[in-house]
Amino acid sequence: MELSSAKMKEAKSLGVSMSELIFADLISLGYAASDAYTIAYPEDMGSNMQNIRNNRERVLRKTSFQNLCEERRKKNAMRLQYSGDISELELIDNETAAKEILKIARQMPENSKERGEMFMKYADLTRKNDQKTEDVAESINFYFPLKCHQCPFLIAHNDWMRENNRKKGEEIRPVEMEAIIRAAWPIIEKARKKAGN
């Protein structure tokens, strides 16, 4: 797994391994210890379950790790806090977001990795916008009923039968619909040709 240099520097400044930092971050975000350990220490997954459990518990018992988890929990909580009323927040559209990203990217130092990443995010966002507009214009969606008794042809036919005082036994049951459509197909094709479609 390749991690950013910023995260490696952060781990080094805290005096912990990258795996410990990832483990602590995941726990602070609410992951179960077993899941977080699996993600943070993929190299251990070749061991038997008892060794994995022992290694996980050893890390969890360390006072330095517990302190790290508490620090990460506080840091993540501060990031997620918003002092104002949530109803005051307004969502922005993709175009506005792309403009903001571009503005921030232009303010970053030339040839910096972060600037390049921001331009990549901008490109991804604008590409997604272009694809969405193309997809909307060119697609036609057809929705079929999930069950035979929801078929609009069946409902329309049976309603017509009731409105025209036909016998109750002449209504089509849902299970008969497929066979009827297959038998009526030549008539449907003939009617289409006659209608000019």
How far apart CA 24 and CA 100 sit, in angstroms, is 32
Give the pLDDT confidence of 109-131 residue by residue, as tens digits. 787 787 788 888 888 878 876 66
Question: Percent of the chain at pLDDT above 90?
Answer: 1
Q: What is each CA distance from 174 to 101, 128, 149, 150, 170, in whole angstroms?
A: 55, 42, 5, 8, 13
pLDDT in tens, 12-33: 888 888 888 888 888 888 888 8
| % the chain with pLDDT above 70 | 81
Contacts (Cβ under 8 Å, ≥6 apart) of 19: 40, 41
CA atoms of 142 and 108, how far apart (whole Å): 47
- Report the 10 Å Cβ neighbour count for 41: 19
User: What pLDDT, on the 0 to 100 scale, is given for residue 195?
Assistant: 83
Give residue limits of the domains in the chain.
5-82, 94-138, 148-195
pLDDT digits (tens, 9 = 90+) for 59-72: 899 888 888 888 88
pTM of the model: 0.41
- Binning pLDDT at 50, 70 and 90, where does residue 7 land? confident
With tokens 């038997």, the residue in question is 48
State how far the Cα of 143 lies from the Cα of 122, in Å rounded to an integer: 35
Distance, in Å, from the CA atom of 57 to the CA atom of 51, rounded to the nearest integer, reads 10
Please state the length of the chain: 197
- Confidence band (pLDDT; 50, 70, 90) for 162? confident
